[in-house]
A and B are shown apart, each in its own frame.
Chain A
Amino acid sequence: MKVSYNWLQDYLDKKLPSPEKLAEVLTMHSFEVEDVVPQGKGLEMVVVGEVTEKKKHPNADKLSLVKIKIAQNKTLNIVCGAPNIEAGQKVPVALIGAELPNGMKIEKREVRGEVSHGMVCSGAELGLEKQSQGIMVLDKKAKIGTPIAKVLGLTDSILDISILPNRNHDCLGHFWIAKEVAALLNCKIKEPKVKKYKIGKVKKVTVENKAKDLCPRYMARYVAGVNAGSSPEWVKNRLESVGQRSISNLVDATNFVMLELNQPMHAFDADKISGKIIIRRAKKGERFVTLDNQSFELDEDVLLIADDKDALAIAGIKGGKKAEVDASTKNIILEAANFDQSNIRRTSQKLGLKTDSSLRYENGIAHMADLAMERVSEIISESAGGVFGDKTDVYPKKQKPVVLGLLPQDVSKFLGVEVKEKEIADTLKKLGFGVKKMGKILKVVAPMERIDIETEADLIEEVARMYGLYKIPSILPEEIIIPPKRNDNVFFANLVKDILVGAGFSEVYNYSFAQSGEVELANPIDKSKKFLKTNLIEGLRENVKTNSAHFKKIKIFEIGKIYSQSGENISLAGLMHPGEFAETKGVLETLLEKVGIEEYYFNDHPDKIAEIRVGNTSIGYIDHNSFEVSFEELVRLAEEEVEFFPISKYPAVKRDVALYVPIDTRITEVEDVIQNSGGPLLSDVDLFDIYEESEDNRKSLAFHLIFQSHDKTLTDIEAGELLGNVIKALESNANWEVRKG
């Protein structure tokens, strides 16, 4: 929110520190000030000058050569294109070296053969208006050489404050920020001084509340005989300083009070209203046209302010055409109300209609209609005159003050630093809380506007931030040091990633969204990817496409969640490009063995090359150059403990066996026979050669068999016998032929 420094100053009895200093104090104790912008920024080198002479430019019809006096002994020659410049005017002149708010840098330059030593500026060039017709002409009394910011009263600084959501209840109003500042800087808050207004015998507004659940308070007041016109300068200045356009004295007064007290207000043209004010829900299908001609179809959840015939406003959000205040308005009805915050929020979201008023109502505000009504009456009386009627206040259930008990030692216990009871009490009092000691506790009454205060914890926060959170020391917790319980997913993810990285794979992270899937988003950002992905491999294939321009060989993997109707699961996928089956399988085998899964095997798969099984469980699949497995199954099956087998002291004996088998025989079938017949001394079987003889429809397999004993050196004869057993077993299959010699 844009906050005017000068506006805050209006409410304080002591001079504020510099805007930058104030910003720092607020940031460290209340809420973050994101930026401080002096109003005259960019106008430092723009001064008042007097046009002493105007001549036509000899080489250009539309340009003039002017002499501008900026000091008793200094006159500048400037080329000017504005049609409205005349001798005798006082004008803003940007001197050489100026950098204007719009970024324009002023330099000495030649325009069609004439040198220009500066620029005469328009309002737009000074950043004061969006568009300008010609240069800005100043008051004749302006003194030459005076900085333009001073002449125009641009002495304010605007603080861009990111008010925390729990302070939107009060601090979207300047007065309440000033109250906060007063507590921080130890000064007193001043109620604004405005002259008394005229109360007279005029109509009293009749209000009928048909939706008490959505409107806990509605205050209205009739004002007769106002003069619609423009606002006094002080109101205009304040509004414009925080980026609000001045509209008319009547509308400006309501906006001013909203920005001052955070109470949205509305002014209706009383003569356009038929009968009484009725607060009611909209009828289904009821149409409403706003002040700015937007048309809406409403339903019963929308709250309206209406008269006997028509809707006048969408409550708390926007006024309508019917009772719009305009230049001919003579009598008005002023509104200050409270509306249900959830309802305002829902309506505002549903209609896509966000206004300064809806923002405040949806955050919730205190019941301060009386205060706001007084204030707006004073301002309207000053700016538009009028006679003010009695206030109608439909307010059945009064806002009760929040009373809390605070145990002083709880503050220290929460903060971890000792804060004395007196300091706690003083701090709360400064912020406007009522504090009374009752036995061991402090009885604390929250100020009316602080509806964010609900619990003792809120009070502790108040003390903490006033004390200064930055002053709280760093203290490590005094706890018994016990190592944390291991998280298996994390542990094995680390292990798997390290294994794959060691095998030359790089890790990618992809988005969770996909073109198709089982879990659909209601509001996808990319309409072509409205599902949550069901696998990781498609993402990896995309990665190959985008990387292939830069890399010949790509080896990548990802561990991440996939989603289906059976829930979300962690998946692991790997891909190599180019790659072939045996290589991919080797990677996967290394991986499984390294995480301690020994009992895996590969089985036929309907559309991939193979599924990977452990016991009866399928844990994933493998294809030519890729694989995807359930990481959760991997973790479940993983054995981190590696069993150590003693290394034999005796040499190993190697024997080879080769055989022909039909071409569709699985290697594992042959291996199984060898393993089962080799006996306990067969320590390893290793396929070292394979070739296919397609004309005979058979293939040759050759294995190294390693025999080793832990007790003795095996003799040639013993090894030969063991090999013989294997050969016999192989030959018992009639289709297999062991190659001899």
Chain B
Amino acid sequence: MTKESKKFFDVTIPGKKPERGHLHPLTIVQRRAIDIFGSMGFEVAEGPEAETEYYNFDALNIPKDHPARDMWDTFWIKGDLSHVLSGAGGGEASGVVERGETAARRAVADKKRFLLRTHTSPVQIRYMKEHQPPFRIVAPGKVFRYEATDATHEVQFYQLEGLMIGKKISLANLKGVMETFFQSFFNSKDIEVRLRPSYFPFVEPGVEVDMRRKPRRQGVGEPTEASAWIEIAGAGMVHPKVLEEVGLDPKEYQGFAFGMGIDRLAIIKYKIGDVRLFHSGDLRFINQF
């Protein structure tokens, strides 16, 4: 006992916590991403999850019967949604694809076939068709892939699409924006990114964005080894064919697009080992955030 007359009080008594709920980790990650891009002037754009084949593929320079379509395993929708979906249906072509038809006719037909979007990239097309450049948008959203699920694959997950178009937006700008974003997201100036060759039909050049923690030298805090490079986003300069498709002159406008997995960001940030937890509804998981 202290010699003061203060009464004994057991400070180790458990505190009574007020009841509160928890945000889903994907919400937390998505918010943070939107906030950071928002601070760089990127507006949030949205689009439908049930899309036309045209917006999901053709308009993005992914023609029918092209092997590039194998990059996206697709859920197809029965029936016709053109009465509720803007930019769907119309035109002279029937739903049946004839031999030897032109790309344009095929695109018309593809406005009448429906699917669950396999990426957020159709939002780019919808936004560009409806607005005047310059553009600076991010489009977060749910996407679907027709594939077996396991710890690293899901039939539905979340992507964040980005698009910046102006008169002289360059690949160096893409790198600048990516680096700024990841430094801010992971709250570390030590994050660096690198670009390396890749291929997505709607960009040219297409790049893979890798990220790592830079090595720290002696004298600047604790010296550390560089971490391994990890793939974090796909990106590139918007393909001239895509710009033409939305009615922009590629000689006048240029810019970059990127796409990253919100689930993947969450997995890296929180070291989550199994993507299926995100859609488990398990409160033992959600209550940790």
Residue ID in chain B nearest A485 by CB atoms: B43
Q: Return the contact of B197 from the options A29, A485, A494 (Cβ within 8 A).
A: A29
User: Closest Cβ of chain B: how far from A448's Cβ, in Å?
Assistant: 21
B43 touches A470 (CB 8 A): no
Residue ID in chain A nearest B43 by CB atoms: A484
B23 touches A523 (CB 8 A): no
Residue ID in chain A nearest B138 by CB atoms: A484
Complex CA gap A567/B84 in Å reads 5
B17-37: which have CB < 8 Å to A?
Answer: 19-24, 26-27, 31, 34
Which A residues lie within 8 Å of B15 (CB)?
none
Task: Tell me whether A413 and B156 are in contact in the complex, defined as CB-CB below 8 angstroms, given that A457-B237, A474-B176, A484-B44 are known contacts.
Answer: no
Q: Which stretch in B4-12, B218-226, B278-286 binds the other chain?
A: B278-286
Contact string, A522-549, partner B, CB cutoff 8 A, digits 1/0?
A: 1111000000100000010011001100
User: Closest Cβ of chain A: how far from B39's Cβ, in Å?
Assistant: 9
B75 touches A511 (CB 8 A): no
A543 touches B237 (CB 8 A): no
Q: Return the contact of A512 from the options B42, B142, B148, B241 (Cβ within 8 A).
A: B142
Contact string, A443-483, partner B, CB cutoff 8 A, digits 1/0?
A: 00000000000011110110011000110111111010111
Which A residues lie within 8 Å of B136 (CB)?
479, 484
Which B residues lie within 8 Å of A165 (CB)?
67-68, 71, 199, 201
A482 touches B197 (CB 8 A): no
A561 touches B196 (CB 8 A): no
Which A residues lie within 8 Å of B177 (CB)?
476-477
Interface size in chain B (residues, C-beta < 8 A): 88
User: Closest Cβ of chain A: how far from B174's Cβ, in Å?
Assistant: 8
Which B residues lie within 8 Å of A510 (CB)?
279, 281
Q: B214 within 8 Å of A by Cβ?
A: no
A472 touches B78 (CB 8 A): no
A500 touches B67 (CB 8 A): no
Q: Return the contact of A470 from the options B99, B169, B179, B194 (Cβ within 8 A).
A: B194
Task: Tell me whether A521 and B171 are in contact in the complex, defined as CB-CB below 8 angstroms, given that A500-B21, A507-B286 are known contacts.
Answer: no
Q: B172 within 8 Å of A by Cβ?
A: yes
Which A residues lie within 8 Å of B65 (CB)?
341-342, 345-346
Q: A164 within 8 Å of B by Cβ?
A: yes
Q: B79 within 8 Å of A by Cβ?
A: yes
Which B residues lie within 8 Å of A28 (CB)?
196-197
Complex CA gap A416/B195 in Å reads 14
Q: What's the dominant secondary structure at chain A's contact region?
A: mixed
Task: Tell me whether A519 and B172 are in contact in the complex, defined as CB-CB below 8 angstroms, given that A506-B283, A507-B22 are known contacts.
Answer: no
B75 touches A550 (CB 8 A): no
Which A residues lie within 8 Å of B23 (CB)?
497, 501, 506-507
A568 touches B48 (CB 8 A): yes
A520 touches B205 (CB 8 A): no
Q: Return the contact of B44 from the options A301, A490, A512 (Cβ within 8 A).
A: A490
Q: B100 within 8 Å of A by Cβ?
A: yes
Q: B198 within 8 Å of A by Cβ?
A: yes
A414 touches B171 (CB 8 A): yes
A525 touches B155 (CB 8 A): yes
Complex CA gap A434/B134 in Å reads 36
Complex CA gap A469/B173 in Å reads 13
B85 touches A567 (CB 8 A): yes
Q: A691 within 8 Å of B by Cβ?
A: no
User: Closest Cβ of chain A: how far from B88's Cβ, in Å?
Assistant: 11
Q: A415 within 8 Å of B by Cβ?
A: yes
Which A residues lie within 8 Å of B172 (CB)?
415-417, 472-475
Q: Return the contact of A464 from the options B168, B201, B205 (Cβ within 8 A).
A: B205
Q: B146 within 8 Å of A by Cβ?
A: yes
Which B residues lie within 8 Å of A474 (CB)?
172, 175-176, 178-180, 193
Which A residues lie within 8 Å of B24 (CB)?
506-509
Q: Return the contact of A414 from the options B27, B64, B170 (Cβ within 8 A).
A: B170
Q: B144 within 8 Å of A by Cβ?
A: yes
Q: A363 within 8 Å of B by Cβ?
A: yes
Q: A665 within 8 Å of B by Cβ?
A: no
Complex CA gap A563/B81 in Å reads 11
Q: A31 within 8 Å of B by Cβ?
A: yes
Complex CA gap A475/B169 in Å reads 10
Which B residues lie within 8 Å of A508 (CB)?
24, 281, 283, 286
Which A residues lie within 8 Å of B64 (CB)?
342
Residue ID in chain A nearest B65 by CB atoms: A342
B20 touches A472 (CB 8 A): no
Complex CA gap A345/B97 in Å reads 15
Complex CA gap A362/B283 in Å reads 47
Q: What's the dominant secondary structure at chain B's contact region?
A: mixed
B250-271: which have CB < 8 Å to A?
Answer: 250, 254
B21 touches A503 (CB 8 A): yes
Q: A694 within 8 Å of B by Cβ?
A: no
User: Closest Cβ of chain A: how far from B98's Cβ, in Å?
Assistant: 11
Complex CA gap A242/B68 in Å reads 24
Q: Which stretch in A118-126, A551-559, A616-624, A640-648 binds the other chain?
A: A551-559
Contact string, A336-349, partner B, CB cutoff 8 A, digits 1/0?
A: 00000110011000
Q: Return the contact of A523 from the options B75, B237, B239 (Cβ within 8 A).
A: B75
Which B residues lie within 8 Å of A489 (CB)?
44, 46
A506 touches B21 (CB 8 A): yes
A519 touches B171 (CB 8 A): no
Complex CA gap A465/B177 in Å reads 20
Of the candidates B84, B197, B240, the one having the most CB atoms from chain A within 10 angstroms of its own CB is: B197
Q: A630 within 8 Å of B by Cβ?
A: no
Which A residues lie within 8 Å of B128 (CB)?
none
Q: B207 within 8 Å of A by Cβ?
A: yes
Contact string, B67-100, partner A, CB cutoff 8 A, digits 1/0?
A: 1100100011111010011000000000000011
Which A residues lie within 8 Å of B241 (CB)?
455
Q: B215 within 8 Å of A by Cβ?
A: no
Q: A166 within 8 Å of B by Cβ?
A: yes
A490 touches B20 (CB 8 A): no
Which A residues lie within 8 Å of B171 (CB)?
414-416, 464, 469, 472
Q: B164 within 8 Å of A by Cβ?
A: yes
Q: A263 within 8 Å of B by Cβ?
A: no
A470 touches B286 (CB 8 A): no
Contact string, B152-176, partner A, CB cutoff 8 A, digits 1/0?
A: 0001100000001010111111011
A479 touches B134 (CB 8 A): yes
Q: B227 within 8 Å of A by Cβ?
A: no
User: Closest Cβ of chain A: how far from B86's Cβ, in Å?
Assistant: 10
B27 touches A497 (CB 8 A): yes
User: Closest Cβ of chain B: how far from A436's Cβ, in Å?
Assistant: 22
A521 touches B77 (CB 8 A): yes
Which B residues lie within 8 Å of A505 (CB)?
21
Complex CA gap A647/B207 in Å reads 60
Interface of A toward B, CB cutoff 8 Å: 27-32, 164-168, 213, 301, 341-342, 345-346, 362-363, 413-417, 455-458, 460-461, 464-465, 469-470, 472-477, 479, 481-485, 487, 489-490, 494, 497, 500-512, 519-525, 532, 539, 542-543, 546-547, 550-551, 554-557, 560-561, 563, 565-568
30 A-B pairs in the complex with CB atoms less than 8 angstroms apart: A27-B196, A29-B197, A164-B198, A165-B201, A342-B64, A342-B66, A413-B170, A413-B254, A417-B172, A455-B204, A461-B204, A469-B171, A469-B205, A469-B207, A470-B194, A473-B172, A475-B172, A477-B173, A477-B177, A482-B41, A484-B42, A487-B46, A503-B21, A504-B19, A511-B279, A521-B75, A523-B75, A524-B75, A556-B281, A560-B142
Q: What 18 new A-B contacts, CB under 8 Å, besides A164-B197, A165-B67, A413-B170? A: A32-B198, A341-B66, A415-B170, A461-B205, A473-B172, A474-B176, A474-B179, A476-B180, A483-B38, A485-B43, A487-B45, A489-B44, A519-B77, A519-B78, A522-B76, A523-B76, A525-B146, A556-B281
Interface of B toward A, CB cutoff 8 Å: 19-24, 26-27, 31, 34, 38, 41-46, 48-50, 64-68, 71, 75-79, 81, 84-85, 99-100, 116, 134, 136, 142, 144, 146-148, 155-156, 164, 166, 168-173, 175-180, 193-199, 201, 204-208, 237, 239-241, 250, 254, 278-284, 286-287
> What 10 pairs across the A-B complex have the smallest Cβ distances?
A416-B172, A416-B170, A567-B84, A342-B65, A543-B281, A461-B205, A484-B43, A487-B44, A164-B199, A469-B195
